[in-house]
Amino acid sequence: MLKSADDVVMEQEDSASRHREMTSWDINDLKLPQDVRQIDWFQEWPDSYVKHIYSSEDKNAQRHHSSWAMRNTNNHNSRILKKSCLGVVVCGNDCSTLDGRKIYLRPAICDKARQKQQRKCCPNCSGPLQLLSCRGHGGYPVTNFWRHEGQFIFFQSKGAHDHPRPETKLEAEARRSIQKAQTAFPPSSPRLKRIREIE
């Protein structure tokens, strides 16, 4: 049976109304939408002023995962987890690796460890390392908010990152393990050769 033009218009208006309801919420609202018909795919690099609704079964959402370097920030609402971006650590010489990539290291979460990190040398050219702080939310770091409500995990990001993406946690761990192996074993060691082949 064919739909009349009025039926099509009403369906479009219903769909637009549902979309407004799903996007008009704010993480601080007393009540968040529970009639969610479509959940979002997990976003590893959320940027700009975005909102997502994830399933409470999503492992990445449960862990409040982000590939941006984020740290927990004091928050006065115990139901909302607030995380702020730490930026990226770059080479002060602006060097490039042999394959043309720039050095974008993941900042340490702890303040003391981050200060110590900046006293180290660039792993590529041995130049000085510098922290580029995130200032993408009106001069302050981009902030991510997470809130678990029933079957859903609500996510809201405020601010747009004004710096390059840092290496992911996995890339940082791999780089550190290779550096440890290089200092622990002589360059001609068979174990170091195996580690380099794996890389």
Instruction: Answer whether 49's CB lies under 8 Å from 155's CB.
Output: no
Sign of the alpha-carbon dihedral angle for 36, 37, 40, 41: positive
Q: What beta strand segments (E) does 19-165 contain?
A: 51-55, 70-72, 81-85, 88-91, 104-105, 129-132, 143-149, 152-158
Per-residue tokens: 101: 């990539």
The pLDDT of 136-165, averaged and rounded, is: 95
The pLDDT of 33-47, averaged and rounded, is: 92
Report the pLDDT value the prediction gives residue 5, as an integer from 0 to 100.
Answer: 58
The runs of H, that is alpha helices, within the chain are 5-23, 59-62, 111-118, 169-184, 190-198
pLDDT, one tens digit per residue, over 51-96 is 999 999 999 999 999 999 999 997 788 899 999 999 999 999 999 9
Q: Which CATH class name applies to 50-168?
A: mainly beta
Of the listed ranges 49-63, 121-135, 168-182, the least confidently predicted one is 168-182
Name the region of 152 (left: φ>0; alpha: ψ -120 to 50; beta: rest): beta
Q: Which residue has the higher pLDDT, 74 or 145?
A: 145
Percent of the chain scoring above 90 in pLDDT: 60
Report the pLDDT value the prediction gives residue 78, as an integer from 0 to 100.
Answer: 87
Tell whether the model's pLDDT for residue 156 goes beyond 80: yes
Of the listed ranges 8-12, 17-21, 111-115, 117-121, the least confidently predicted one is 17-21
Task: Locate the domains of the chain by residue range.
Answer: 50-168
State how far the alpha carbon of 50 is from the alpha carbons of 2, 99, 152, in Å: 38, 33, 16
Task: Return mean pLDDT, the chain.
Answer: 84
Per-residue tokens: 87: 């930026």
